[in-house]
């Protein structure tokens, strides 16, 4: 079930939404790599999500802020088969790298903000930031209250685009903050920042050349 609504007053729009989700395990999650990763006992995910936000336009600048919460049951996640809390299916060493398992209850909540600025007819800037807190809420579990694996708390991006005479030039910087690689939050993953540049050149009416460099600074 899904329901959403919006109320607009001049250049301001208020919006809210509610949704219920269902996601069945994929074939790979059930039996991937001839059983080396799969878990045939997986249950489907179910979730309920709520969000409320505002969008605002002020001439050449527009932006939005959204607050949201998602509560999940049987969240499907990849877990390691070493250390505390390894699921029973890991017994016997048939899945040395890990497997997929259900997190009985989990919650993700946070805030997302975006802004766009049309600096001139040819040049525009846009950016976004997300603060997302994720928690394992399985009562009685060793991981209760810990952050979900591989979910960074902070992420942000900044994009620029220039549309010139016969060519375009653009680039973006994307930042992903630190996270944890396991449910026990004992293995930390460092944050990363990636820079991408791209351009296109119009040779004639029929030919256009494209170029793109990802992870510019390695």
Q: Which residues contact 165 (CB under 8 A, 6 or more apart)?
A: none
Chain segment 103-120, per-residue pLDDT in tens: 889 999 999 999 999 999
Share of the chain above pLDDT 90, in %: 68
pLDDT grade for 151, boundaries at 50, 70 and 90 = very high
Are 61 and 115 contacting, i.e. CB atoms less than 8 angstroms apart?
A: yes
Q: Is 88 helix (H, G, I), strand (E, B) or coil?
A: helix
Chain segment 38-92, per-residue pLDDT in tens: 888 899 999 999 999 999 999 999 999 999 999 999 999 888 777 666 777 777 6
| Average pLDDT of the residues of the chain | 91
pLDDT grade for 124, boundaries at 50, 70 and 90 = very high
Query: What is the total residue count of the chain?
Result: 218
- Do strands 45-58 and 12-23 pair parallel, antiparallel, or not at all (unpaired)? antiparallel
Kindly report the pTM of this predicted structure: 0.83
> Tell me, what's the pLDDT at 140?
76
pLDDT grade for 93, boundaries at 50, 70 and 90 = low
> Tell me, what's the pLDDT at 33?
65
- Sheet of strand 12-23: strand arrangement: 2-9, 12-23, 45-58, 61-79, 99-118, 123-136, 154-163, 167-176, 192-202, 208-213
């Amino acid at each position: 079930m899904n329901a959403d609504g919006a109320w607009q007053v001049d250049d301001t729009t208020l919006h809210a939404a509610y949704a219920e989700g269902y996601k069945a395990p994929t074939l790979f999650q059930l039996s991937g790599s001839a059983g080396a990763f799969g878990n045939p006992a997986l249950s489907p995910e179910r979730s309920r999500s709520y969000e409320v936000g505002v969008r605002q336009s002020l001439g050449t600048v527009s932006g939005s802020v959204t607050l949201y919460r998602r509560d999940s049951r049987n969240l499907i996640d990849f877990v390691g088969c070493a250390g505390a809390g390894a699921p029973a299916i890991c017994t016997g060493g048939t899945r040395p790298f890990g497997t997929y398992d259900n997190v009985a209850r989990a919650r993700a909540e946070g805030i997302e903000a975006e802004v766009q600025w049309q600096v001139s007819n040819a040049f525009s800037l846009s950016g976004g930031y997300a603060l997302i807190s994720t928690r394992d809420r399985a009562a009685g579990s060793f991981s209760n209250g810990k952050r979900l694996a591989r979910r960074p708390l902070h992420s942000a991006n900044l994009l620029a685009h220039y549309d010139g005479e016969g060519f375009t030039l653009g680039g973006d910087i994307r930042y992903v903050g630190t996270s944890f690689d396991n449910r026990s939050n004992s293995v930390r993953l460092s944050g990363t920042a990636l820079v991408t540049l791209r351009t296109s050149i119009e040779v004639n009416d029929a030919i256009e050349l494209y170029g793109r460099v990802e992870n510019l600074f390695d």
